[in-house]
Structure 1
Amino acid sequence: MVEANLPPGFRFHPRDDELVCDYLMKKLDGSDSTLLIEVDLNKCEPWDIPGGKEWYFYNQRDRKYATGLRTNRATATGYWKATGKDRPVARRGSLVGMRKTLVFYQGRAPKGKKTEWVMHEFRIEGPFGPPKITTCVTKVSLH
């Protein structure tokens, strides 16, 4: 694990624009750092993600239907549900990405039980990103 190689006291707490510009954009152009790993959120539950109180990683957005645009956010025991509206991420006054907030529900919709797991999903937007990027940077935390 990456965490085992970090010096004592190291804290990784990047700003939203740093996640988009310094991690996601570099990942997509092939020059990403090894600090973030890839996690398939459809194959693991939030409590199984390795890390401390906050986890940062890359994930591929899975499509619910092969020919559709809807994202599949279901796991074996629950699902991630979007809450609120997407928030812009800017650097030096220019739009570089968007942040989507999701909450994990155990069970199946519409009768799922809300949990305290929160996800912030960051994607490239604006003039910096092609229209169909399927990789995003994700932050998961327990509140």
Structure 2
Amino acid sequence: MMAHSRNSSSGDGKQVLSLPFGYRFYPTNYEVIRYLKHKILERELPADIIPTIDVYSHSPDQLPLDKFKYGVAGEWFFFTTCSPGGLPTRDGYGYWSPTGLPAEIDLDQRIIGFKQAVDFYWGQSPDGIKSNWTIDEYRLNPDQLDGQADETTQAKVQNLVACRVRTSQ
């Protein structure tokens, strides 16, 4: 559901989003890919509310979840660099590891992006204990740029992802 939001300017010139009472940020897979594409192409976002952090360097209990304020309970959105593929977090308490194969995200019979589940495990690989924390990692399909991207933009497509961090607590 699209909601009209009110934006006001903070003291530092940034736009501050003010959602109507009762509304939450709960995008579809397509909408997450759309936000990611806007971020990669440095276009104005429909609502600039998704912070950029280094998600994969943190254990779940160290993630700055308070930086995302507009979602539903148990879900947070961030932009970050690609997953490390099972490398340990900086704090050494565990690791994020991809689960299964990426799923295609289609719109009008075109693949616009991909969604990959990434689970957190406490301990050291490969003997870690699976936690109740999962990231849905969204990647833009490079074909969405119609071959018009310069090297910098192509690198962003390869390295920048959107993440929906979830817990089943």
* Shorter-normalised TM range: 0.7 to 0.9
Partner of 1:56: 77
TM-score between both structures, scaled by the size of structure 2: 0.70
Task: Give CA-to-partner distance per residue, 1:21-56, whole Å, 9 cap, x none.
Answer: x20110011114211110102332223331541011
The 1:43/1:80 distance shift into structure 2, 3 A limit, reads closer
Partner of 1:7: 20
Matched residues in 2 for 1:108 and 1:127: separation?
37
Matched residues in 2 for 1:86 and 1:98: separation?
6
Matched residues in 2 for 1:3 and 1:54: separation?
20
Return 46-55 or 34-43, whichever deviates more: 46-55
Kindly provide the amino acid, as one letter, of the partner of residue 24 in structure 1. L
Q: Show structure 1 runs of 5+ residues with no match.
A: 65-70
Q: Percent of aligned positions with the same letter in both sequences?
A: 24
Structure having the higher Rg: 2
Task: Give CA-to-partner distance per residue, 1:77-116, whole Å, 9 cap, x none.
Answer: 1111111111001111100111000110011101111100
Partner of 2:112: 96
TM-score between both structures, scaled by the size of structure 1: 0.81
Matched residues in 2 for 1:4 and 1:32: separation?
14
Partner of 2:35: 23
Matched residues in 1 for 2:128 and 2:78: separation?
25
Is residue 59–residue 95 contact of structure 2 (8 Å, CA) maintained in 1? no
Q: Secondary structure at the match of 1:127?
A: helix
The 1:32/1:39 distance shift into structure 2, 3 A limit, reads farther
Is residue 88–residue 99 contact of structure 1 (8 Å, CA) maintained in 2? yes
Could you tell me how far 1:3 is from its partner in structure 2?
9.1
List, as ranges, runs of 4+ consecutive aligned residues in structure 1 with deviation greater than 3 Å: 2-7, 129-132
Aligned residue-pair number: 134
Higher relative contact order (CA 8 A, sep 6+): 1
Structure 1 residue corresponding to 2:159, chosen from 115, 124, 134: 134
Is residue 17–residue 49 contact of structure 2 (8 Å, CA) maintained in 1? no
Kindly provide the amino acid, as one letter, of the partner of residue 82 in structure 2. R
